Structure 1
Amino acid sequence: MDKVDGPKEPEEFPFVVPNSQMDQQQQYLRYMDERHEYRNRKIKTSHGQYVKVMVLFAILQIIGIAFFTKGFLLSRQVLQNRATCQEQQESETCERFSPFKKSVVLLIDALRFDFVIPVEGESADPYYHNNFPILYEQFVKHPRNSLLLKFIADPPTTTLQRLKGLTTGSLPTFVDAGSNFDGDTIEEDNWVSQLRDHGKNVAFVGDDTWTALFSPFLHSNMTYPYPSLNVWDLHTVDNGVIEHLFPMMHNRSHEWDVLIGHFLGVDHCGHRYGPRHYAMKQKLNQMNNLIDQVISLLDDDTLLVVFGDHGMDYTGNHGGESKDELEAALFMYSKRKNFGRLAEEYYDVAELGNNYRSVNQIDLVPTISLLMGLPIPYNNLGSPIEEAFIGPDGKDQHQLAKVNFLTCQQIHRYRQHSDQLSSDTFINSKFEELSEHWTHLQQGKKEQLDLIKFNQQCYDYQSLSLEKCKSLWATFDNISIAIGILLVTISLLLLIIYGKLVPLVVITQLNSQFIATSAAMTLVHSLLVISFTTIFKPENLNMLWSVLLGISLGIINGILAPIIDRYSVPWLLAQVRENLIQNGWTYLALAVVLMHSLIFTSNSFIIWEDKIVAFWLTSFGFCAFFKSFKHRNSYKQLLGAYHSIVFILLTRITSSIRFCREEQGSKCLSNFEVTWWSVGLIYVFALLLPKMIEKFFDITHSFHGAAPLWISTGLKSMMLLTGLMWTLEYIENSDYFNAQFQIPFEAFKATRLTIARIVMGISLIASNFGWFLGPLCIKIDLKSDTDSQQVLKTANIIGYGNVYGSAYFLFVINVLCAVLLVNKPLGIASLALLVNQILTLLELIDILNIRTNLISVVVMGLLAYLHFFTTGHQATLQAIHWDTGFIVTESIVFPFTHLCILMDTLGPFIIVCLCIALMCLWKIPPTSKAISLISKIVENSSTLLIYQSCLTLSTLIMTNHFRRHLMVWKIFAPRFMLNGIILITMNVILSLVTVGFATGRVIKRWNQVFGT
């Protein structure tokens, strides 16, 4: 075998040194120094090579996920055409249906429909029902002046996507949800840009998302944006809107034609507290009074439009497609009698309840365009709202027929110019083919059919067009999807070969070849793919994706070539039985990995994944309990049984923390809330968790040196400060305390931010700086033995049997404190139990002798998933705790806001990735085979990546398989995105932090101090 390139070992010490100038003892010391320096260099070189190879795997998997994401997350075809009045054949068309010269458009973010209608009986909630009555009262008292409808959003229910749909009339796509925080100017035709094109001034105040999307179309001297994403701030945006809204209506009404205001208080209140909170009642009352004042200031030529862009679920979040998230409210009002009714029974809340008359949100686009004398935006798929054009008496079918046909013309033009829609092959069982249906409409207009029948045909055509567009609303890039799946599959196979099949001694020797070969092959393949792209210009590859594909092919060849050069494929296959399958534990682990991968074949299994994971962990605990009694040592038998029972109990206790997803329905009852008792649990665990950790350290006599400072003082202090922060938060938002006392909100806010910044600074900066200097959890016990001739002194190192694990765990505590800070109270309790479970598992691993067995890593991975769910998360967009991003900052500040959300969402996975090294480091004495120890840690890290890669690959395949499934965007796609993010995070943490930083530092530090 080839030797590792690196430092050369000094020659063996010559015990007989002829003609030497120095004595033998000095020469021996010099030799030992050189040998020690050589070994340190060798460890450093080998360690660096391991880190580089793991980075190569990370790059390969990230590129694979990127290709799949590029191909799967949909992108709608947008036409750049702009609608004109001349294109609608009659030059006066744009002015014909414009009874209003001005409009006031008020968007109340997250205004759910049941917030504005009367709700009586047991179902009425005092916090969010019957606190915003003015819209319904005006609708009932002035039926010809007002209109109130249920306003149905298209998913994803995120603000930026809703604004796109509400202004362009087009359907959003799921990939747009990722840009909710980074909007670009809309180049697609929309009614805001049409206002500018027709010489009208648009004033705006409120959510700065509008300026991101429509800045070129807004009047620069009448635009007042406010930051929108600080969900802890309920008042700044709303107060800013009120500050500018009324002066512009009073004194500057001649300067604007359309005045837009976007309120965020209701939405932020939902995100921060949920709808069932007194702050929601205050916000709805505030909006009610505001609308009352606005109505009083309107003149006869001004139209008032009030609507919500989406609703919110019972937790106050949104982003998905539950009923409460999709149902917003739409209110239109004018002093002039302009609105009609189709039939009174359509609007009777008492009779209809949830069947109240509803329209699609994109229907606002042709409606407001025609009412303001604008051409309908080119990509619009909405229908004009009947009540706005049927006349005050509800009988003007002639005017309704005109606006309906204009809308049908616009949709037909859009279809004709769209590559996706021009080839019409969609057949609906109820209607004829769209092209034939359009022909019948034209004939009906010429023949002047019965207007009621004609209007119905128009709505049928508009509805059928929308239905077809929804079925074809996006184009999947099948080639990119296939490349992504193939790259992740290959990376999984390479990880299995690298981590489990090839002997560790050989891997240590091959690491340098992997790196050199990958670099060379990456250059060659990148040039080849770029040349192919330049010559053939495939639609799926541009220059960037060509380079990424070349890099991935280079890494694959760079890792595979040295292995194939040394070993044959049959030999590798033979190693599966010898190296991968160790005993019955391995079969159990493989069964769990297979079952976990297969749950993504069913939406029902995905919905109940939290319960399934808890069951598997409990099953492991039972197996460990019975396996413990096979140990030869009776004390170990009892100890193993004890830890098994503790592991089972902790799993059961943890799984009692529940944050249910909508699909679980009445079979799951959420208890993940900020309450007085959940805040109290922080203080309980602040006292218990350090004591628990201390007891585990005492097993190996390691609670010495730096351990008391880190655990008894540091961890306890950080948790108490975190508890104080959440106490202030609870008092600030408590009904009781606000009723009894005058809460100094600004002082509380400043104190909370100060505490959070202190904890974060100490956890991630000060404590890690101290840890880097190399604290050890040992104690030197000096003893003197006196005999008849001399005094002998001996040194006993207490904690010697766990020198690596105890020192490494101090680093885990540093990161743990930061993760605890950004979690909510019950999440903190869950993470405290996670630490106890990990330490219990480490004891079981030692007793059962399964340090490098697949089962140990799989159980670690399952713990991460269990606590992902019990820290208040689910694989849904609305389950993301956006409010945690503002724990240490008042506004969005990169990277602190993003880091807080990441640590809150993936905290359990981060902790588990760090603790994977403890499986090899815990309860072992110093070793002279440091490289072998690093190799075993890399093996376990690779095994964790293998497990997660299996899950990610399964979600890629099944999400692609179910891409036309009804639940794809609600269940399968979010689950794929979660698995992709987890795999990327694991790669980064394992390669750069666990192996790259912490493991190397602990092992090298011990060798520097003691020279082992």
Structure 2
Amino acid sequence: MEEIDYDLKKFRAPPRTPQPPTRSKIRQQKLKYAFIGYIVVLVFLAITQFIGVGFFTRGFLLSRDVLPNIATCDEFGSCVPPRFNKTVILVIDALRFDFTIPVDGSAEPYHNNFPLLYDLAQKDNGVLLKFVADPPTTTLQRLKGLTTGSLPTIIDAGSNFDGDAIDEDNWLLQLHKINKTIAFMGDDTWTALFSAYFDPSLNFPYDSLNVWDLHTVDNGVVDHVFPLMEAPQTWDMLIGHFLGVDHVGHRYGPRHFSMKEKLNQMNDVIGKVVDNLDEDTLLIVFGDHGMDYTGNHGGDSPDELESAILLYSKKQKFFKKDKSFYDITNKGAGYRQVNQIDLVPTISLLLGLPIPFNNLGYPIDEAFANVKEALRAGKLTIEQIKRFRDLTPSLSESLLDQYESLISSYESRTNDLSFIEQMKRYQYESLDQCKTLWARFDLRFIGIGIGILFLSLTFMITYARSIPAVRVSTLSFEFIGSVVAMSIIGVVLSFSIYIVLKPGDFTLKICLCIGAVLGMVVGFWAPIMDRFSVEFIWHQTIDFFQFNFNSWSFMGIVYVALHCLMFASNSYVVWEDKMVSFFLLSFGASCVYALSVKTNLSKEAKILGISHAVTFLVLTRCASMITACREEQRPYCEASFVSSWWSIAVLHLLTYLLPAFIKSFYKLSDSYYSAAPLWIGTGLKFLLFMNAMYWTFEYVQNNEFFNTARFKISEPLLKSLKLAIARLVLFISLVLANFSWSRGPLCVKLELVETKKEDDEEDDSSSDSDGMTTQKSASILGYGNVYGSSYFLLVLNFTVAVMLTTKPIGAISISMLIIQILSLLEIIDELGLRKNLVTPIVFGLLGYQHFFSTGHQATIPSIQWELGFMTTETIVFPFTHLNIILNSFGSFFLVALAVPLITIWKIVPSPKPITVLSQIITNITTLSTYLLFTGLSSSIFAAHFRRHLMVWKIFAPRFMLSAMLIVSINIFMIVITLWGSGRVLKQVNRIFGK
């Protein structure tokens, strides 16, 4: 074969001359760097706020110290012979007291459907008492109190979903020490706390937190309790914890027909247990807490605190005092009550165990056979309390004389009934002192936390409003380098100080956090002081107010000031929802007036603007009528946040109305093109329909009519359909739609228009046979709102997710929020309020209003835990938690996501995208500053009122809401809002940049 030589050089392309980057590419690169710089700086500012919240929380929400001592029978003869050899303990979660007693003339499903406990108590061998819990009324905290006799503090409520094993003395530990066999079945919270004491072969826990499952736990308890009762030789204590009553309350409320069915079931189960009970076994049936009118618990209203306890034995009789103590008139208002911690010494003494060392309760008188036994039990208990006080330095020196007097008088008063009340008085006073002791606050950490939050506030104000917006981006990387360097120096110095000084309670982690914050402070101010003098910043601030400060800005400042001062009064905190609505209504009315007197508007523009303001006003008023009353608001508040057939019907109607309303706003700016019809006309309609179907299935599943034998629908089928719909909607709205949006087109359309004109002899254009010249021109439809129309589609994605995880009437409220936001954007455009202080503040107020109108309050019971199980049957991280977060803070997320629209709604593409981004950052940080103002104010007043009677009921929950908002909204704005804003600016600049 002949070889052919090829000269490869002949085939090489000529070398390309490097081309300078275009102006558009340079601008795109600068925008990218500015965007990254802003994100990093906002992350540092957020971290400072988080550290401040952490310090304040550590100082304010203290958990108590636990004495590690374990009581023994050898101590001072602290044990007595057991009265019972075996015990059956049945806990009916959320068994409110009035569920168990006769209530004449009541047709409520929770009355007169559990009569057995009252009937058993009419005998000499049974006693029924009102069982009063100590707040917080969450299951894990109640179990701690019921087994140790101590009082959990409010911070323990946060561990209700992540309980740790109890390491202090308790009666299960005491039983385990003497080799008694404990069998358990039911709520798995017990296993988290006491698994070391249960017989592994007799331990049957069930998932406790799926409040939409009414039967699995109860049926599991029933399946195991009766076989075990038929083999009593295999156990010494049998514990069963039923959850159905509690789950009915959470899911439907106490007035649902399912409550009657569940109480009837409990009545039958307890009756069967009594039939199988032998004569030497004690039966104790009680509830760990009650429930409020909504079916929730966690607070300290009487309905949440008052449960019931039954002591019953087939053979042994109980010591009953005056029958007037057991009066059931007025729904049991005068019935004798005992504290739940009183169960601890009672069980211990009845079973011959030493009383747990940390116990603060007093034995239940009725549990013993006579006065003499009750007095002996009381003496052993006050001796145990005295031992506990001796080892607690702040308690050891008080009540000594009272104790000595009781002990010296005991032998001469062994049959004196009044002596019981004197011993109880010692226990009451000791308990009050302990409550005061455990309410001690660490003012050092509180002060550090408030100081850091105040510094964070100054940073936010300076960064948002005092530095020229155009020059902020040039400082971003200087901020980053300075903050990082100084933070490292601060951490190193604090570590050195810790090693040298060993400063007591200040652990290494605390010292490092303080060092990091001080480093951030220096690192933040250094580049500002280097680039701008204090005088320059002051003049810039003055200039800002001169050019931007007007009656609208003054209104915004007044709103912030009044909202912050609101926390100085418990009454104003209670009625915060009405105050927020008043602020928004006053703003809407001001807009109507301002638009009516504005002279530089055309008649059509003025009518349109006033119609938007009226729409805003009407929807604000409608949203304010959706209320979920907190306990302190009654009787002046009537709850309207209830699910009913008409709310489901409105949801179906919104499937068509909400997209139509949104489409009309897009039409106003001529932006309903490209992606808009797909998102709004197709996607939004489909997802809203699926949302309505989900809640339709939920209504059918809950309605008594559809659960009759004639119309009964397969519950497993409905359950499967609901899970499928919820998962589909959340996946599409949070994942698929957002991914598609990030890759999708803008809401614009290129339109070619042909025009004809007469020939011009000097015109070289081609002409047709009629002597007319055809010219083609192009116009871009949607150009005037190219940023806003595209960005708002991202808001709609998250709107669907929030609406799904909100109950039907709450979803209606969220629909109102979307129309309010659109109307507000049009008002802002007409009145020229883009750079005004009031606009981000009104957005923040909208977040608060719809937080309340979606069924929430600044209270623990208002948390809608049940919605965590929309997409899962058990607790699955992060899906269960995501549902609860979307439900609780969804309105704030939507507002935080919509804030950039203040800047970019109805503006044409800017040749200076960094300037647009700077203004977006200004509005984002202004909203964050508003939330930080309210957070700092609620912290200051919570600390000031730390000795107030209502601190744990009103001030502490409000501070916790502010703290969670500071954390969650900062994260959301940095991760989602800035991502969405940056994507839109980048895409518009790439297409229209020059």
With the shorter chain as reference, the TM-score category is over 0.9
Shift of 1:444: 1.5
User: Given the alignment of the two structures, is residue 552 of structure 1 paired with residue 535 of structure 2, yes or no?
Assistant: no
Shift of 1:30: 4.7
> What is aligned with 1:355?
334
The residue type equivalent to 1:843 in the other structure is: E
> What is aligned with 2:593?
626
The residue type equivalent to 1:659 in the other structure is: A
Aligned-partner Cα distance in 1 for 2:424–2:948: 27
Does the residue aligned with 2:131 lie in a helix, a strand or coil?
strand
Aligned-partner Cα distance in 1 for 2:406–2:245: 44
User: Given the alignment of the two structures, is residue 687 of structure 1 paired with residue 656 of structure 2, yes or no?
Assistant: yes
User: Given the alignment of the two structures, is residue 588 of structure 1 paired with residue 565 of structure 2, yes or no?
Assistant: no
Work out which of the residue numbers 934, 938, 947 in structure 2 matches 1:964.
947
> What is aligned with 1:650?
619
Say if 1:631 and 1:637, in contact at 8 Å, map to a contact too. no
Shift of 1:538: 2.7
User: Given the alignment of the two structures, is residue 70 of structure 1 paired with residue 44 of structure 2, yes or no?
Assistant: no
> What is aligned with 2:804?
821
Does the residue aligned with 1:989 lie in a helix, a strand or coil?
helix
Work out which of the residue numbers 464, 474, 483 in structure 1 matches 2:448.
483
The residue type equivalent to 1:764 in the other structure is: L
Measured against aligned partners, the alpha-carbon deviations of 1:708-734 in whole angstroms (never above 9, x if no partner) come to 010011111101101001001101110
Aligned-partner Cα distance in 1 for 2:883–2:90: 32
Shift of 1:642: 1.9
Measured against aligned partners, the alpha-carbon deviations of 1:730-769 in whole angstroms (never above 9, x if no partner) come to 0111012212412210000000110111111110111111
Shift of 1:550: 2.2
Relative distance call for 1:30 and 1:701 in structure 2 (3 A) is farther
Measured against aligned partners, the alpha-carbon deviations of 1:575-616 in whole angstroms (never above 9, x if no partner) come to 333214521111111111100000000110011111111111
Aligned-partner Cα distance in 1 for 2:413–2:243: 48
Aligned-partner Cα distance in 1 for 2:707–2:412: 69
Does the residue aligned with 2:307 lie in a helix, a strand or coil?
strand
Shift of 1:237: 0.4
Does the residue aligned with 1:877 lie in a helix, a strand or coil?
coil
Aligned-partner Cα distance in 2 for 1:493–1:842: 29
Does the residue aligned with 2:169 lie in a helix, a strand or coil?
coil
Shift of 1:450: 6.7
Work out which of the residue numbers 28, 31, 35 in structure 1 matches 2:23.
35
User: Given the alignment of the two structures, is residue 200 of structure 1 paired with residue 174 of structure 2, yes or no?
Assistant: no
> What is aligned with 1:8?
none
Aligned-partner Cα distance in 2 for 1:604–1:534: 48
User: Given the alignment of the two structures, is residue 616 of structure 1 paired with residue 599 of structure 2, yes or no?
Assistant: no
Aligned-partner Cα distance in 2 for 1:909–1:411: 48
> What is aligned with 2:116?
134
Say if 1:154 and 1:171, in contact at 8 Å, map to a contact too. yes
Shift of 1:568: 3.2
Q: How does 1:119-130 map to 2 (within 5 A)?
A: 119-121=103-105, 124-130=106-112
> What is aligned with 1:563?
528
User: Given the alignment of the two structures, is residue 243 of structure 1 paired with residue 223 of structure 2, yes or no?
Assistant: yes
Say if 2:726 and 2:870, in contact at 8 Å, map to a contact too. yes
Work out which of the residue numbers 938, 942, 946 in structure 2 matches 1:955.
938
The residue type equivalent to 1:94 in the other structure is: C
Shift of 1:532: 2.0
Q: TM-score, normalised by structure 1?
A: 0.93
What residue ranges of structure 2 are gaps of 5+ in the alignment? 1-12, 760-764, 767-773
User: Given the alignment of the two structures, is residue 779 of structure 1 paired with residue 764 of structure 2, yes or no?
Assistant: no
Say if 2:346 and 2:363, in contact at 8 Å, map to a contact too. yes
Aligned-partner Cα distance in 2 for 1:189–1:329: 25
Aligned-partner Cα distance in 2 for 1:800–1:30: 31
Q: How does 1:358-369 map to 2 (within 5 A)?
A: 358-369=337-348
Say if 2:144 and 2:152, in contact at 8 Å, map to a contact too. yes
The residue type equivalent to 2:84 in the other structure is: F
User: Given the alignment of the two structures, is residue 753 of structure 1 paired with residue 723 of structure 2, yes or no?
Assistant: yes
Does the residue aligned with 2:157 lie in a helix, a strand or coil?
helix
> What is aligned with 2:88?
104
Q: How does 1:922-933 map to 2 (within 5 A)?
A: 922-933=905-916
Work out which of the residue numbers 366, 373, 377 in structure 2 matches 1:399.
373
Q: How does 1:802-821 map to 2 (within 5 A)?
A: 802-821=785-804
Aligned-partner Cα distance in 1 for 2:326–2:611: 65
Aligned-partner Cα distance in 2 for 1:482–1:517: 26
Measured against aligned partners, the alpha-carbon deviations of 1:464-513 in whole angstroms (never above 9, x if no partner) come to 11111122223312111111100110100111111001111221111111
Aligned-partner Cα distance in 2 for 1:173–1:831: 35
The residue type equivalent to 2:719 in the other structure is: K
Shift of 1:529: 1.4
Q: TM-score, normalised by structure 2?
A: 0.95
User: Given the alignment of the two structures, is residue 676 of structure 1 paired with residue 645 of structure 2, yes or no?
Assistant: yes
Aligned-partner Cα distance in 2 for 1:133–1:812: 53
> What is aligned with 1:301?
280
Say if 1:76 and 1:475, in contact at 8 Å, map to a contact too. no
Work out which of the residue numbers 247, 250, 254 in structure 2 matches 1:275.
254
> What is aligned with 1:117?
101
> What is aligned with 1:15?
none
Deviates more, 1:778-787 or 1:151-160: 778-787
Measured against aligned partners, the alpha-carbon deviations of 1:94-153 in whole angstroms (never above 9, x if no partner) come to 242x111000000000000000000012xx24310000000001111x1x2111000000
Relative distance call for 1:549 and 1:178 in structure 2 (3 A) is same
Does the residue aligned with 2:778 lie in a helix, a strand or coil?
strand
Measured against aligned partners, the alpha-carbon deviations of 1:184-238 in whole angstroms (never above 9, x if no partner) come to 0000100011110111111100000000000111111100000000000000000
Aligned-partner Cα distance in 1 for 2:776–2:329: 92
> What is aligned with 2:265?
286
Shift of 1:352: 8.0
Does the residue aligned with 1:619 lie in a helix, a strand or coil?
helix
Aligned-partner Cα distance in 2 for 1:447–1:594: 66
Does the residue aligned with 2:282 lie in a helix, a strand or coil?
strand
User: Given the alignment of the two structures, is residue 840 of structure 1 paired with residue 819 of structure 2, yes or no?
Assistant: no
Aligned-partner Cα distance in 1 for 2:182–2:842: 59
- Aligned pairs, number: 964
User: Given the alignment of the two structures, is residue 741 of structure 1 paired with residue 729 of structure 2, yes or no?
Assistant: no
> What is aligned with 2:392?
418
Deviates more, 1:506-515 or 1:146-155: 506-515
Does the residue aligned with 1:797 lie in a helix, a strand or coil?
strand
Say if 1:133 and 1:288, in contact at 8 Å, map to a contact too. yes
Q: CA RMSD in A?
A: 1.7
User: Given the alignment of the two structures, is residue 180 of structure 1 paired with residue 160 of structure 2, yes or no?
Assistant: yes
Work out which of the residue numbers 240, 243, 264 in structure 1 matches 2:243.
264
Say if 1:278 and 1:735, in contact at 8 Å, map to a contact too. yes
> What is aligned with 2:698?
729
Aligned-partner Cα distance in 2 for 1:453–1:328: 27
Does the residue aligned with 2:779 lie in a helix, a strand or coil?
strand
What residue ranges of structure 1 are gaps of 5+ in the alignment? 1-20, 425-433
Aligned-partner Cα distance in 2 for 1:466–1:776: 67
> What is aligned with 2:5?
none
Say if 2:372 and 2:415, in contact at 8 Å, map to a contact too. no
Say if 2:375 and 2:414, in contact at 8 Å, map to a contact too. no
Deviates more, 1:209-218 or 1:528-537: 528-537
User: Given the alignment of the two structures, is residue 381 of structure 1 paired with residue 360 of structure 2, yes or no?
Assistant: yes
Say if 1:346 and 1:352, in contact at 8 Å, map to a contact too. no
Shift of 1:355: 1.4
Relative distance call for 1:361 and 1:572 in structure 2 (3 A) is same
Does the residue aligned with 1:474 lie in a helix, a strand or coil?
coil
Does the residue aligned with 1:878 lie in a helix, a strand or coil?
coil
Q: How does 1:861-872 map to 2 (within 5 A)?
A: 861-872=844-855
Aligned-partner Cα distance in 2 for 1:678–1:610: 22
Question: What's the % identity of the aligned pairs?
Answer: 49
Aligned-partner Cα distance in 2 for 1:128–1:448: 44
Work out which of the residue numbers 194, 197, 201 in structure 2 matches 1:221.
201
User: Given the alignment of the two structures, is residue 164 of structure 1 paired with residue 129 of structure 2, yes or no?
Assistant: no
Shift of 1:792: 4.4
Shift of 1:22: 12
Aligned-partner Cα distance in 2 for 1:500–1:926: 24
Say if 1:75 and 1:474, in contact at 8 Å, map to a contact too. no
